[in-house]
Amino acid sequence: MPITGQLLIGRARVRGQHGDFHAIDARTGEPFGAAFGGATMADLDRACALADEAFDAYRESTLEARAAFLETIGRNIVAIGDELIERCMAETGLPRARLEGERARTVSQLALFASVVRSGDFLDARIDPAQPDRRPQPRVDLRMRSIAIGPVAVFGASNFPLAFSVAGGDTASALAAGCPVIVKAHSAHPGTSELVGLAIQQAVQDCGLPEGVFSLLFTSRRGIGQALVADPRIRAVGFTGSRSGGMELIKIANARPEPIPVYAEMSSINPVILLPDALAQRADVIARQFVASLTLGAGQFCTNPGLVLAVDDHGLHAFERAAEAALAQVPAATMLTPGIYASYLAGIERLEAHGDVERLAKGVAGERLQARAALFATSAEAFMADPSLREEVFGAASLIVRCRDVDALHRLLGSLEGQLTTTIYLDASDGEAARGLLPTLERKAGRIVVNGFGTGVEVGHAMVHGGPFPATSDTRTTSVGSGAIGRFLRPVSYQDFPELLLPSALRTENPLGLTRRIDGVLGRQG
Amino acid sequence: MPITGQLLIGRARVRGQHGDFHAIDARTGEPFGAAFGGATMADLDRACALADEAFDAYRESTLEARAAFLETIGRNIVAIGDELIERCMAETGLPRARLEGERARTVSQLALFASVVRSGDFLDARIDPAQPDRRPQPRVDLRMRSIAIGPVAVFGASNFPLAFSVAGGDTASALAAGCPVIVKAHSAHPGTSELVGLAIQQAVQDCGLPEGVFSLLFTSRRGIGQALVADPRIRAVGFTGSRSGGMELIKIANARPEPIPVYAEMSSINPVILLPDALAQRADVIARQFVASLTLGAGQFCTNPGLVLAVDDHGLHAFERAAEAALAQVPAATMLTPGIYASYLAGIERLEAHGDVERLAKGVAGERLQARAALFATSAEAFMADPSLREEVFGAASLIVRCRDVDALHRLLGSLEGQLTTTIYLDASDGEAARGLLPTLERKAGRIVVNGFGTGVEVGHAMVHGGPFPATSDTRTTSVGSGAIGRFLRPVSYQDFPELLLPSALRTENPLGLTRRIDGVLGRQG
């Protein structure tokens, strides 16, 4: 399938006329392949009009039809074959095994949402039957279900070119909810985006769905993404990226005549707490696990362990020595884009130049555009005194903060902003300290990991990939796992409806076989 | 129990020093009773500090303890006796029967949330068990529950001095979720607020809960409410009131270093659609039901039917004549405050002065400060041409819009902003027209009523008292019914936790007997 650089607008492939740009080879920084044409405002308007037209029909498509559509997308992605992996390797610098794994994750994520759709639990169907004899007033018949919120704009992430991009978690959960999706492709992997976009466009056609269910826009200029969020036909936004980028979209969404929710996953340094007895017992093992997590994928994970908190004792010294030794062996790695590499370098230089920060270790030097992992240390006092030390350095850099005791560590933890994950390493004898920290950990993060790192993000039912601001803009939500569908739903009540007018989810005989809440009690009553 | 005008800050009663104000007798417009002292910034700070201190303990109180607390509040409110009703009648001008009914509703609402807490379903407990043998990577043990979001600020409504005020739906659902609550009392019923606040304060003590679980602030000046929303210890806001008031709080919440959700129920004109065959069959009956709903409680309901859409035919003429006749018999009624009365008069005068609006009828004249119901009519063309005709006139006024045909009616409906409710009157033979309108009705409103009016708002499991903006600021939520608790929760994942550190909701043996989602499947497995 040749990559043409065309926009996908409904069933059409359209040459964007608003400025060309090229894919960049992550290893060389050089442009390659066909040019991508940037979307015009007319292209955007057409995509939004099609999405709005498709909305009422698509949101009432049967659960089976929607589940099959999600599975078809997965099959079509697999059918692209190795072209997808090779293109993605060139655009991102990520290795083959990682991208094959990410493809499998993307497909299984679509399959998970297909199962979520089939179960129908997300409809949250409820019936409070009429009580005509109730005094002083009879009770009406009231039924509730969740419906899709409307067309959704998705901004793909640079760091997961498959699993958090065109057919990633935001798209999968929005489509599962019954929302048409317009994706603004990330310019760091446009060819990958086109290939995956074509797989979705084909699935729309394979499944006989309205063409407006999906569109894909390219742009390398400011304006189109902002206009997409401002368009009155767009009803929610999914975004994964920088804090400044997310905040800009949130500002636009809040300034609309009708504000809409923006689910932005933005910034997290994912503090790791190493309790004294765990360090006393196995500083070496923990250090090796830490360095492996820190340097995975050149550290380009939202859940990368960017901050380590521990009591300054012998155990921590042993941990630091072991981490230094492990890190010094880590080969340099190509980053996703020359821009991300430059930002990483600047972050490292800022830490290296900091008077109160000590550099403990640096990874092996590599080629041009390859980043070296780095480990730093500072004191709790210095950390508390300088807010810049809390800023995320996107990449394989981490800062150890040496605390006087567990209380000092607790205060420091309490001063942090919201996080996607926190990790706590503990031994049985650390139980009391861990119990004391737990309420603060819960206040600060969407996921708390014991004796492991947060870099693996399971796509399941119990996953929360979210957390207090600025980890995400909406702490009530997750962007990974089956709970992600809830972001794109809203409840509607139907009062005293005749059976024939009721949506099938709420008909008395329960034709969909749903688990429903009858007078508050869950069951599968017909 | 003498009303003293003191603030309730934790367990203390404190004289506010930031300006005095008095309760106003709604019938006379004259101040009466003890002066209320306005809260200072120091009072606010103390209330927030206590709430934050109470938070971790209160959110982990047992389900039974929290349920019993909610029930104790209800009992303490009933125990106030007739003093509450009489004070409330004087402050609001609402009649005894209405307020006795509203007290019963308030108590049963607390009981509903007690049952919601006891069931534990709101915890949304999920377990994805470990799969140590999974390839290529073992699966971790992942568990999830919802936790309370943090201390909540509640701004009571003027129009439901019990059910949407100090111990109303926002307070009940936030307390049920495990959130401490700070109420900013509505200055239209401060004595009522103090009495109910004392009932809650007493319940906190009766149940041995941390004192910071509840505080009540009075103020008659700008600034304290705004500072409450801006305080970093406040994590969510519940508000029922005007669009301008709600938008001001939303703006403050969005501008915080850490933005927080504001659940503002603001403005709704609750369109009523009368389909042709329903009107042909029973215009008289519908007209009488309409006038009864319109004039209930002097029209001071968020769900008041402020807009009627119908095809301009014989049936509509008959409806108009019958509504005129019924409305002309309706006695004038005291409104909640002189300010609300003045706004209503201004709204009526604006409609009466409008060149394209015809006044059909007016209710019986009354005493000073008593409002007369009013019914107006206009054409679809005039309505589409003048946005001011869409503005809510809070009170017993409604505007009939005569449409050429059902298509014109549908277009007009599609042009409206979000609504709490829409009503559709239909006959069996109107089914096709109703089916055509349904997708638009779903897009526009949180609750759709067939052959009835939305003014009765059942407190149950299937109720949605919400809807697209500006009906509410967050269309994914309801402020009435068991679903309201979801506004004050956020999910947290626990990865590879030792049993002893897990919250009881997530322990393997299921000590709370919860219905949990194990690998995505709901059940009560231990």
Active site positions of B, annotated: 265, 302
Q: What are the structure tokens assigned to A345, written together?
A: 């370098």
| Alpha-carbon gap, residue B189 to B162, rounded angstroms | 10
- Domain A271-450 indexed as CATH 3.40.309.10: yes
Q: Does A415 touch chain B (CB under 8 A)?
A: no
Cβ–Cβ pairs < 8 A, chains A and B: 212
List, in sequence order, the alpha helices (H) in A296-370: 314-327, 338-352
- Asked if B448 lies within 8 A of A258 by C-beta distance, the reply is no
For A62, the 3-state DSSP assignment is coil
Tell which residue, A56, A142, A488, A494, has the closest CA to residue B421: A494
**Chain B contact probe: residue of A105, A415, A493, A496 with most B CBs at under 10 A:** A493
| Whether A115 and B520 lie within 8 Å, measured CB to CB | yes
One-letter amino acid at B321 equals R
Q: At residue A165, what is the residue type?
A: S
The parts of chain A modelled with pLDDT lower than 50 are none
Instruction: Name the closest residue on chain A to residue B457, using Cα atoms.
Output: A140
- Looking at residue A2, what is its pLDDT? 86
Among B55, B252, B493, B519, pick the best mutation site for testing chain A contact (most A Cβ within 10 A). B493
pLDDT in tens, chain B (526 residues): 689 999 999 999 999 999 999 999 999 999 999 999 999 999 999 999 999 999 999 999 999 999 999 999 999 999 999 999 999 999 999 999 999 999 999 999 999 999 999 999 999 999 999 999 999 889 999 999 999 999 999 999 999 999 999 999 999 999 999 999 999 999 999 999 999 999 999 999 999 999 999 999 999 888 999 999 999 999 999 999 999 999 999 999 999 999 999 999 998 999 999 999 999 999 999 999 999 999 999 999 999 999 999 999 999 999 999 999 999 999 999 999 999 999 999 999 999 999 999 999 999 999 989 999 999 999 999 999 999 999 999 999 999 999 999 999 999 999 999 999 999 999 999 999 999 999 999 999 999 999 999 999 999 999 999 999 999 999 999 999 999 999 999 999 999 999 999 999 999 999 999 999 999 999 877 6
Give the distance from residue B464's alpha carbon to the nearest chain A alpha carbon, in angstroms.
Answer: 5
What CATH number was assigned to the domain covering residues A8-266+477-487?
3.40.605.10
Distance between A267 CA and the closest CA of chain B, angstroms: 13
Query: In Å, how far are A219, B318, B321, B408 from B312, measured between CA atoms?
Result: 49, 11, 13, 11
In angstroms, how far apart are the furthest CA atoms of chain B?
A: 81
Contact predicate B15/B172, CB 8 Å: no
Q: Which of A464, A489, A492 minimises the CB distance to B491?
A: A464
CA angle A312/A313/A319 to nearest 5° reads: 90
State the Cα–Cα distance between residues A376 and A513, nearest whole angstrom: 57
pLDDT on residue B526: 62
Judged by a CB distance cut-off of 8 A, whether residue B41 touches chain A is no
A148 forms beta bridges with A489
B128 touches chain A (CB under 8 A): yes
In A231-272, which ranges are continuous DSSP H helix? Answer: 243-255
A479's CB contacts (< 8 A; 6+ apart) are: A164, A169, A170, A173, A238, A240, A263, A265, A465, A466, A472, A487
Q: Which residue has the tokens 């215009």?
A: B283
From B392, B484, B464, select the one nearest B421 (Cα to Cα).
Answer: B464
Burial of B509 (0-12, 13-18, 19+ CB in 10 A): exposed
CA B109 to chain centre: 12
Q: Which residues of A touch B101 (CB under 8 A)?
A: 136
Lookup result for tokens 């903006």: B469
* E strand intervals along B171-287: 181-184, 214-217, 236-240, 262-265, 271-274
Domain B7-266+477-487 class in CATH = alpha beta
Asked if the Cβ–Cβ distance from B492 to A136 is below 8 Å, we say no
Domain extents in chain B: 7-266+477-487, 271-450
Among B197, B260, B267, B192, smallest CA distance to B228 is for B260
Residue type, B40: T
CB atoms closer than 10 angstroms to residue B518? 18
